[in-house]
Amino acid sequence: ETGVTQTPRHLVMGMTNKKSLKCEQHLGHNAMYWYKQSAKKPLELMFVYSLEERVENNSVPSRFSPECPNSSHLFLHLHTLQPEDSALYLCASSQALRSHTGELFFGEGSRLTVL
């Protein structure tokens, strides 16, 4: 049982669909992240929210739209995706401390396939 839960675990969508990925953290952390993991590539940071404010946006295409309604929930809204967007999408959380940012804890991921 992980402190960060993601749904759905698997998603298949067409290029014209709209879907959302959901993430919930039960660790009391104050920062939440979306990462993309593709084969043979390092994890790519997409978005970071700290205290519900977006603090990082890594030049991600506008077809990915994040939403953070509170410190425990994070969404990634998907629309008009491309086949190259097929990947494992990982949500993570951390507790930002005064001296440094703490460890990053990941959810189990949402495997996305775009047809």
Residues that bind other proteins (CB under 8 A): 2, 31, 33, 40-43, 45, 48, 50, 55-56, 88, 90, 94, 96, 100-109
DSSP per-residue codes, 15-62 = TT-EEEEEEEE-S--SEEEEEEE-TTS--EEEEEEETTEEEEE-S--T
Can you tell me the distance from the alpha carbon of 108 to that of 48, in angstroms, rounded to the nearest whole number?
18
Q: Shortest gap between Cβ of 16 and other proteins (angstroms)?
A: 28
Residue reference for tokens 């951390």: 94
Q: Shortest gap between Cβ of 73 and other proteins (angstroms)?
A: 18
Q: Shortest gap between Cβ of 104 and other proteins (angstroms)?
A: 5
Output 38 or 70, the one with its CB closest to other proteins: 38
